[in-house]
Chain A
Amino acid sequence: MGVLIKQIEYVYPSIKVTNDDLQKEFKDYNFKKFETRIGIKNRYVASKEETALSLAVKAVDKLFSNKKIKKSDIDFLIYCTQSPEYFLPTSACVIQNKCGLPTKIGAFDINLGCSGYTYGLSLAKDVLNGNSIKNVLLVTSETYSKYINKLDRTNRSLFGDAATASLISHSEESDSKEFLFGTDGAGADSLIVKNGCAFPVDLNPKNKTYGSGNVYNDNNLYMDGPGIFNFTTSHIPEFYKNILDENKMSVKNINQVFFHQANKFMLNTLRRKIKVDSDKFYINLQEGGNTVSCTIPIAIKQFFEKNNIIKKQTLLLLGFGVGLSWCGGIIDVEF
């Protein structure tokens, strides 16, 4: 007995930022080249009133609006975010109430970024295999835009906000497949917001620069792009092979490969390394940019819609990034 992703819905926040908008702010940079190379045209950012939690609630409401499942049939909620509503309580508890989910459910948060969706699926799989639980709601939501300095052109270009909701259920027809993990906290500084938790937000922060004149301070998101790129190209190809080996499968048994949609250039570099044809390796982040833990579910949903797929698909999913943390596995999807 295995598990199946039965539904995915996603939402973007209200403010659309186009490359033309950014070009007006950063006149010296060539956004046409950026669009071709990195593959991002638009990204969406949360307004002051919108939070990751409010977006998460919208995504969950959208999922139930299809009326394919009743709220009373949900047994468990896993919420993945690095933009929690509060230090405490757990955001998942607030979502349970705001979405009118039953009080009988289990609910918790996981604090992970780009590896968060695949981690969440693995946890959902274990919850489903463990006891009488039949339906798990996996919600991801991220508003990195709130951490990014207005003068940080690189991160403002790459990252977008979004929320997703996925329904993962027991399936008699699907086999159980394995997920694998990887962690290297030595790279924690490569992608980090230093202040705001144990260290309070600095009211007079000292601005610093990185790369080609990007401005940030310790209250902001900082990313060592080349560092992350290097980690990815050196670790992820072998990890991809390990996932196939662990499941005793080859890429022939996979309908489509989905990696975290970090940027087009990185994805193409990885694709060449793992020697997978471009028609089997999904790359499309044109509309929303890098939405952290939301990129994989958005990509799956787009893939199904664009190709009008109704048959069950076996997908290899792999997320990697902040932590450093990576996780991937194989799972069936049928909407």
Chain B
Amino acid sequence: MNTEDFLNDLVEELELDNVELNIDFDLRDLDEWDSMAVMIVIGYVSDNFDCNLTGEDLKEVSTVKSLIEIIGNEKFL
């Protein structure tokens, strides 16, 4: 997947208003970053990357870049 598409999808999935996401953005700074958001990301990644993340994996996530690394850099253009 194109990184830009991934960023747009995250904004849409997490229903982020007035947030400019980039790969260095720390997701933990979002008000919306709660257990529902974690579930949404697990669902989104599972739908689009054929990859099942765990809650433990998501605990390790800080920036968007770190999320991309967990999903697998090779899956991004």
Contacts and interface: CB of A to CB of B under 8 A. Distances in A.
Interface in B35-55: 35-36, 38-40, 42-43, 46-47, 52-55
Interface residues of B, number: 18
For A37, A226, A266, the residue with the greatest tally of chain B CB atoms inside 10 Å of its CB is: A226
B35 A211 contact: yes
Interface string B52-71: 11111010000000000000
A229 B43 contact: yes
B34 interface: yes
B15 interface: yes
Given A212-B34, A233-B52, A226 B42 contact: yes
A226 B61 CA distance: 14
**Which size class do A's interface residues fall under?**
20 to 34
Interface in A246-274: 265-266, 269, 272-273
Contact of A226 (B15, B33, B47, B55): B55
Contact of A33 (B15, B35, B39, B47): B15
Contact of B42 (A37, A38, A230): A230
A18 interface: no
A225 B53 contact: no
B3 to A, nearest CB: 23
A65 to B, nearest CB: 40
Contacts of A234: 46, 52
Contacts of B46: 233-234, 269, 273
Interface in A95-135: none
B43 A226 contact: no
A37 B34 CA distance: 13
A225 B35 contact: yes
A321 to B, nearest CB: 15
Contacts of A225: 35, 38-39, 55
Contact of B39 (A212, A265, A273): A265
B38 A265 contact: no
A272 B56 CA distance: 24
Interface of B: 15, 33-36, 38-40, 42-43, 46-47, 52-56, 58
Interface of A: 33-34, 37-38, 154, 210-212, 214, 224-227, 229-230, 233-234, 265-266, 269, 272-273
Given A226-B38, A230-B55, 5 more contacts: A212-B33, A212-B35, A226-B35, A229-B39, A229-B42
26 contacts: A33-B15, A34-B36, A211-B34, A212-B34, A212-B35, A225-B35, A225-B38, A225-B39, A226-B39, A226-B42, A226-B54, A226-B55, A227-B54, A227-B55, A230-B42, A230-B52, A230-B54, A230-B55, A233-B43, A233-B46, A233-B52, A234-B52, A266-B39, A266-B43, A269-B46, A269-B47
